[in-house]
Amino acid sequence: MSLEERLVSDTIFVTRRIFDETLNYLAEHVVVEGNDTDRVLSSDELQAGAADAAGILSMVTDRIDSQLMDSCPNLKMVANFAVGFNNVDLDAASERGILVTNTPGVLTETTADFAWALLMAAARRIVEGDRLVRDGKFTAWGPRMLLGHDVHRKTLGLIGMGRIGQAVARRARGFDMDVIFYDPYPVPAEVVDKLGARSTPLEELYRTADFISVHVPLLPDTHHLLDDDAFAQIKPNAVVVNTSRGPVVDEQALVRALEAGTIAAAGIDVFEHEPQVEPGLLALDNVVLAPHIASGSHDTRLRMSMLASENLVCGLRGDRPPNLVNTEAWEQRKQ
């Protein structure tokens, strides 16, 4: 059997409904099975559906753990439809020689657009204003009605200066903002100079930024990075935006900070126990809540879908996928 014939005989399992263009591409290379709805599958359903699969095209909502991997004896690859991959047990995958990929780069600008949209909406109280008009409570213009916070010529603090953080920094230049950032990893000097940004310790960023936008992966040392102690250091007129991962922010601490006026407002796209939302957030007017849609433009989600599929086909063909996360699994295969 030729390599291409073997590839076509491989079955892949797609965990959620995706784009027709992607399914058509996959069908040219593999046998496609999967969930054709938008419903998140239970662990049992996922195990049953992927039992014979050589590859899984997974979503960030799917838990790909050792139990699932052991229930899928033919599994060679997991292509995650996301930049993050904290839903996949990388150690377990590497131990079993299962390749794991993600979809970086393609959603950078779209996510930065949305982070900026949340920043503006929270600062200028746009959602509150929309609700006021729809509820028929806008009876006359008033000089103190729904006063928000200026964005131009203020200080933007970025926690994380990777692709998305840099993209948000570029947008800040159009608002004549001072940009400061904290990143535990080195950022090339030419990038920092081009953006006109300045690196600061995290504590200084908390004390000086008028707007804080979070762009870090979920790791043990970023879990609850923004907690009660962090919010106590942030300026009371500051707006905090999170489009990274929900558990980076302690939601109960955020509620306390918003209720007490420790910070002015927040814009949140991701949640600690998604899709559940901390009830205290739902009761507050000074937070804008979005249902994890920072990358949610048609063009970007289609590109993510195609990239995940291309990674999958590449890996099942026996080539190193371009967006391989666990390189140790690839090295193990080559031994």
Catalytic residues: 245, 274, 292
Residue 143: exposure state from Cβ atoms within 10 A (0-12, 13-18, ≥19) = exposed
Q: Which structure tokens are listed for 36?
A: 């054709």
Place of tokens 């080539």: 319
Greatest alpha-carbon span in the chain: 77
Q: Which structure tokens are listed for 56?
A: 């899984």
DSSP string computed for 37-86: SSSPPPHHHHHHHTTT-SEEEEETTS-B-HHHHHT-TT--EEEEESS--T
C-alpha triplet 284, 154, 264: angle, nearest 5°: 15
Q: Which structure tokens are listed for 324?
A: 């391989």
Alpha-carbon distance 292 to 315, whole Å? 29
Q: Which structure tokens are listed for 66?
A: 């050792």
Alpha-carbon distance 19 to 301, whole Å? 9
